[in-house]
Structure 1
Amino acid sequence: MRWPTPGPLVQDGRVSGVEVAEVAAQLRVAGCVFAEEEARLLIDAAAETGGDLNGLVEERVSGTPLEHLLGWAEFRGLRVAVGPGVFVPRQRTVFLVEEALALAGGAGPAPVVVDLCCGSGALGLALATALIAEGRPVELAAADIEPAAVAYAQRNLDPLGAAVFQGDLFAPLPGHLRGRIDILLANTPYVPSDHIAGMPPEARDHEPRSALDGGADGLDVFRRVAADASEWLAPGGHLLVESSPDQAIVATAILAAHGLAARVAESEEHYATAVVGTRP
C-alpha cells in the first residue's frame, strides 16, 4: 500500500485521508508492538515537516529506530534530540536518573554532575532539569567517544550551559573536575559481545557498536570506569551504572576492589538494575 505525501494537518487520526489503522497494520506485520502509537507519531512527524509518510513507514518497517525517524526520543518527560548513528535512550534507564536524583540530595546546593558515555546526553539532561526545577544550580559536563553522539549531546545540553567533550571515558574531561564530581552517571555498554548478533535489528544495525558491546562478559568498559572513578569523584560522590541483574554482583565486587562502597539498586517498575559506588 502507498500513501500520498501528507498535508500539514492532522485531524482525528487522519492525514490526507490516511487512517492511523492503515499505517498501524503495516507496522504490526513488521513486528512493531505499539503499532497504533507509532503510526500516530509517524503521521504527526510527516504532517509537521511536510515529509513523505510512505518513506517513513518503509524505513520503520525495514528496522530503522522510530526515534531516529522522529528526530527525538521521550525520556523522563523530555524530548531528547537523536538521529542516525546515535544510541536511543532506553526507558528503563530513567531508574538511573531517579537513583541519582535521590543521592544528589546530599551533594550540596550546587551539585557537580558528569554524564559519561553520554550518547545524546539524555541522562545528564534529565537529572539537571530535575535539579534546576528544585531551585538547585548544576555544574554539568558530558563526554562520549562517538562524534555523532557528541553533536546531539551538545544540541540537547547547550541550553543548560553544559560542556560536552569528545574522547574516551575520562580522558577528555578538564582537570578542574578531578576530585569534584558529586554524581557520575555512566551508562556504559554492557551487552556481552557474543550477544550482539541476537539484539533487535533497530539496535544492532542502527546504533554504534561502541554503545552496545561490553566485551566478553559485558563489563569491560565498566571495569575501566570503576578503575578511575575514585580519582574523579568528590568525597562522598557517587558513580551510577546500569547493568543486567546477572552482572550486578560481579560489578559491585569490581567497585569494592577500587575502594568504593558498593550496592545494587533494582526497580520492578522500570525492569532495571543499577550498581552504585560511593567514594568514602
Structure 2
Amino acid sequence: MTFDMESYVDLDLPTRRSPGGGSFDADAALDLVTEFCISRDVYLGTKYSVIPQLDRALRIASLIGPDRRWSRIARWSGNDDTGAAPGAIVPNDLRDILYSRFVAAMPDARWLPPISVVSVSRWARFSQSMRRARDLDLGWIVPIHREVLLVPMPTVRYADGSAGVLHDDTGRPAIEWSDGSGIYYLRGTEFGESVYRRIVDREMTIEAVAALQNADQRSIALRYLTFEQLINGSGAQLVDTDVSGARLYRLPLPPRLARDRPPGYGQFDYFVHTCDTGHPACPFVDWVEPRSGLRYKAESSEA
C-alpha cells in the first residue's frame, strides 16, 4: 500500500457513532491529546492529525519515523509493570489486541512498540486527559516525528454466542473503521472483500469454493451455498426422508474439499434439507456431522 504523504491527513471526521452508542468527537479528542502532550512536555512544534485506520497510521509512522522525544516517557505507557519483555505488547483489551494484530503484519515497524505504546487504554492508567479521550472512543495515538496521529476505535462485530470470534455476514466489515472501510471476517477467518461478498450474496458455486486457496475459507464458504447450488450439477444424492419431510443428502466433495476433511470422515458431506412451515418457499440447509450422516437417517442426522 502506498501513500501520498502530502495528502494523508484526514480531519473531516467531526462525529461518528461508536459501538457503545456514544460518538467520536475529533475536535474534543484533539484537545485532550494536546493537553496530554503538554503535560508530558512533547507539545512544542507538534501537530495533530486524525487517521481513520490503525494500519494506515502505522504505515505512515514506519515511513516518517518516530518522535524521539517520546522515548523518555515510554515508561509511562504501562508496560513496565506487566512483567512483559521490554517493548512487548500485552493484549489486555481490544485496543492492545488490534494493535498487536497490525504490528505483527508489519516487520518494518518493529521500532514502534519500544518508542511508545499507543493504546489509549494504557495511557489512561496515568492520565486523566487520556481517560477522557478513551471515553470518547479514541483508540490509539501514534507519535511520529513532530506529529501525533489519532486513530478512533473501530466498530468490532462478533459471532453470536462466540466471544472474540470476528464475524459479520450481513455485508459489513467485522472490523469497521470510522471512514466505513474495514476488514471482513466470517467465523473468525479473514476474507478479501470481493470473495466475502460473493459468499454472503450466495453467488459461489461449489467449484468456486473448491478453488479458494485457504482451507478455512473453503470450509466456511461451503456452508453458505444454497440448496440449489448444492444440488445442481454437484452429484448430491437423496439418501433418506423422515416423517416430517426433512431430507438427508449426501454430497460428493471435489478433491480439494475432500482433502480438508479430518481422517475417517470420508469423501462426502451431508446436509438436511427442510422447509419452515411458516415460510414454505424458503428452504433451509443444515449441515450434518459426517459420522452421523453415514448412518443414512434423516431423523437421527437432524437430531
Larger Rg belongs to? 2
Assess same fold via TM > 0.5: no
* TM-score normalized by the length of structure 1: 0.27
Higher relative contact order (CA closer than 8 Å, sequence separation 6+): 1
TM-score normalized by the length of structure 2: 0.26
